[in-house]
C-alpha cells in the first residue's frame, strides 16, 4: 500500500477552520501515514485574516510538538508555509531557524504589493504574459534561496484562469530546471480543484518536464477544512505516475527521503 502523506494543511493558527486535532482525526480515517501542518506565515506579518501572527509561532510549534509526541498511529510533522518576499532574507532565515521544523513550504502569493490569488481583479486590464513571466521568475528566485524544502502551488498564478496568449512551455522548463539545480521539491497541490481553476497545481500538462529533470514531488491537499485532507489524492498519484514519477518525497527534521510508490486503488 502506498505511503500517503499530506504536508500542506492549515489550522486555526492561520486561515484554517479547526484545531490540528481535527485534521489528525481526518488523516487517520483516510489511512494517511503522515500529516504535516503548514500554517501561513508572512515575513512582514501579512493580513491577519489569513496569516499567523509572529508572536503565535512558539505556541503553534509547541502544540504540534506535543501532538507529535502523543500520536502513535500517525507521524505528525511540523512545518510552515512562508511567503517568499524579496529582500526579506534575514527575517525569513530567523523564522526558519527559530524552531525544530520538519520542512518549510515556500509560496509566492504576491507580485509587488498585490496578491495573485484573492480575486480576478488583479488580472483585469493587465499584460497576462508579463504577469506569468514575473511570477515564474519569482518562484525560481524563491527556490534559489535554500530556505524551502517544498515549493507550494508553484503556478498559483493560474488560479483565476487567465492564460497568456504565447506558449509558456519555456516557463515550466525554467522552473523545472531551477528546482533541479537548487535541489528543492514541489507539491502537486490538489486544492486547485476547489478554486476557479478547477484543476491541480502545477499544470498537469507539464509534469513530465519536472519528472525528466528528476525534481522530487509530494501530493498535498492544502486543506483548510478537515474534510479536505487527502482530497483527490487517487487522481493525483495517478497523473504523477503517468508523467513518469515512481517515487515521492517525505520529510523529517529538514531532511528529504524518497519512497517508491506503486499504482494502487486509494
Residue 265 domain flag = no
Residue 253 reports pLDDT greater than 60: yes
Q: What is the CATH number of the domain that holds 209?
A: 3.20.20.140
pTM for the whole structure: 0.96
100-130: per-residue pLDDT in tens?
A: 999 999 999 999 999 999 899 999 999 999 9
Domain extent for 162: 5-260
pLDDT, the chain, mean: 96
**Residue 266 included in any domain:** no
Report the pLDDT value the prediction gives residue 251, as an integer from 0 to 100.
98
Please tell me the predicted confidence (pLDDT) of residue 261. 79
pLDDT at residue 2, as a whole number: 78
Q: What is the pLDDT of residue 237?
A: 95
Which has more confidence, 1 or 226?
226
Question: Does 85 map to a domain?
Answer: yes
Asked if residue 57 belongs to a domain, the reply is yes
Across 153-176, average pLDDT: 98
Angle between helices 128-144 and 169-181 (to 10 degrees): 10
Question: Is residue 33 assigned to a domain?
Answer: yes
Whether 225 is in a domain gets the answer yes
Predicted confidence (pLDDT) per residue in 24-35, tens digit: 999 999 999 999
Look at residue 46 in the predicted model and tell me its pLDDT: 79
Q: How many domains does the chain have?
A: 1
- Axis crossing angle, helix 20-30 with helix 57-70, rounded to the nearest 10: 40
Confirm whether 149 is domain-assigned.
yes
Is the per-residue pLDDT at 265 higher than 60?
A: no
- Over range 194-199, report the average pLDDT: 97
Mention every residue, 6+ apart, whose C-beta is less than 8 A from residue 63.
13, 20
The pLDDT, as a whole number, for residue 12 is: 97
| pLDDT score, position 263 | 43
pLDDT at 89 over 90: yes
The average pLDDT across 140-160 equals 99
The burial of 133, by beta-carbon neighbours within 10 Å (0-12 exposed, 13-18 middle, 19 or more buried), is given as middle
Report, as an integer, the average pLDDT of 67-93: 97
pLDDT tops 70 at residue 266: no
| pLDDT reported for residue 262 | 65
Is residue 50 scored above 90 in pLDDT? no
Select from 55, 57, 82, 66 the least CA-distant residue to 21: 66
Tell whether 129 is covered by a domain. yes
Is the pLDDT at 1 greater than 80? The verdict is no
Amino acid at each position: 500500500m502506498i505511503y500517503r502523506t499530506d504536508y500542506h494543511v492549515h489550522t486555526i493558527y492561520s486561515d484554517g477552520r479547526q484545531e490540528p486535532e481535527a485534521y489528525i482525526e481526518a488523516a487517520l480515517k483516510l489511512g494517511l501515514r503522515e500529516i504535516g501542518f503548514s500554517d501561513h506565515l508572512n515575513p512582514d506579518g501579512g493580513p491577519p485574516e489569513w496569516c499567523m501572527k509572529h508572536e503565535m509561532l512558539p505556541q503553534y510549534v509547541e502544540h504540534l510538538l506535543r501532538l507529535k509526541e502523543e500520536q502513535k498511529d500517525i507521524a505528525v510533522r511540523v512545518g510552515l508555509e512562508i511567503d517568499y518576499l524579496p529582500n526579506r532574507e534575514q527575517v525569513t532565515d530567523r523564522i526558519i531557524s527559530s524552531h525544530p521544523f520538519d520542512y518549510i513550504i515556500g509560496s509566492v502569493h504576491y507580485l509587488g504589493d498585490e496578491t495573485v490569488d484573492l480575486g480576478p481583479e488583479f488580472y483585469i486590464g493587465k499584460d497576462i504574459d508579463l504577469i506569468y513571466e514575473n511570477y515564474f521568475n519569482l518562484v525560481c528566485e524563491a527556490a534559489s534561496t535554500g530556505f524551502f524544502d517544498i515549493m507550494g502551488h508553484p503556478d498559483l498564478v493560474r488560479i483565476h484562469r487567465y492564460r497568456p496568449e504565447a506558449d509558456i512551455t519555456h516557463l515550466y522548463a525554467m522552473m523545472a530546471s531551477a528546482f533541479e539545480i537548487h535541489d528543492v521539491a514541489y507539491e502537486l497541490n490538489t486544492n486547485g480543484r476547489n478554486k476557479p481553476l478547477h484543476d491541480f497545481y502545477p499544470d498537469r500538462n507539464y509534469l513530465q518536464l519536472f519528472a525528466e529533470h528528476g525534481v522530487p514531488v509530494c501530493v498535498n491537499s492544502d486543506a483548510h477544512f478537515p474534510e479536505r485532507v487527502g482530497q483527490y489524492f487517487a487522481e493525483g498519484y495517478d497523473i504523477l505516475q503517468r508523467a513518469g514519477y515512481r517515487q515521492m518525497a517525505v520529510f523529517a527534521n529538514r531532511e528529504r527521503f524518497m519512497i517508491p510508490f506503486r499504482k494502487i486503488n486509494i
